[in-house]
Amino acid sequence: MGKYNNNLSGTMKHLKLLIATGLTVLIAAGCKKTTIDQPQVFAAIGFFGASPDAPPLSIYLNNNKLDDDSLDYKGSIFYVNAYSGNREIVGYKNGVKKVSQTVKLEDGKIYSCFLTGNYSNAEFALLEDSLKTPLSGKAVIRFVNMSVGAPSLDLGLNDGTTVVSGRTYKANSGFIAITGDKQYSFVVREHGSTVNKVIVPSVTLLAGHDYTIWTRGIYTATDGAALAADVVLNY
């Protein structure tokens, strides 16, 4: 999971295991496909930095520090395995606990966790990822609104089409199927409006993969924290 690029090997080499009962997943070594058939005692969780004024933070699950050095704004940490049950997610800065939240992770489920809000009152927003293998020739996408102070937002295309309608702050859509191996020019609008608030650089979405398109920043800002959107590869 990270900013989208066409070189899947750069992303997939970090993939240890996607935990999902009955889902064919990729193992990093050689990107070999395998099927999980043993009882599930783990979940998987990835992280996004959506707090526009937060410094890079070290992320812990209970007392276990994630391998990645830190989570910064616009950054991400690829899925890692985590024991299921109640887990405390903590963001540390220079050894001081700055953000913490207890969440419940269920066996065999996959999650995305967004550090969002202004740094002074930042929080972790946990979303369940309903990853699935797309039908032949298809990719799947979801839309997530993590822009501080944003109204309900729509994800659309630059031809005026609406793809996902009405996502409020911290809300996500389900994954929906679209044609794969095709270039898209996504835009973000206020719900029901025809005015583009964000124009996402054109991106080719490859068949057989799952993507998240998410907004970030402060909705009313005009500086480096202004409303923006990214496309990331989940699977």
Q: What mean pLDDT is reported for the chain?
A: 84
- Give the per-residue pLDDT at 65: 93
Domain co-membership, 97 together with 188 = no
Domain co-membership, 25 together with 113 = yes
The 10s digit of each residue's pLDDT in 48-75 is: 999 999 999 999 999 999 877 789 999 9
Two tokens, residue 162? 């609406």
CA 17 → CA 92, 104, 175, 208, distances in Å?
26, 19, 20, 17
pTM strictly above 0.85 = no
212, 198 contact by CB (below 8 A): no
The 10s digit of each residue's pLDDT in 4-28 is: 433 333 333 333 344 443 343 332 3
Domain co-membership, 94 together with 44 = yes
* Of 33 and 110, more confident: 110
Domain co-membership, 191 together with 125 = no
pLDDT surpassing 70 at residue 226: yes
Domain co-membership, 111 together with 182 = no
Domain co-membership, 105 together with 75 = yes
Domain co-membership, 97 together with 10 = yes
CB neighbours of residue 144 within 10 Å: 27
Q: Tell me 43's DSSP state.
A: E
> How many folded domains does the chain comprise?
2
In terms of DSSP H, where are the helices of the chain?
8-12
Domain co-membership, 64 together with 144 = no
What is the arithmetic mean of pLDDT over 140-161? 96
- Give the per-residue pLDDT at 40: 52
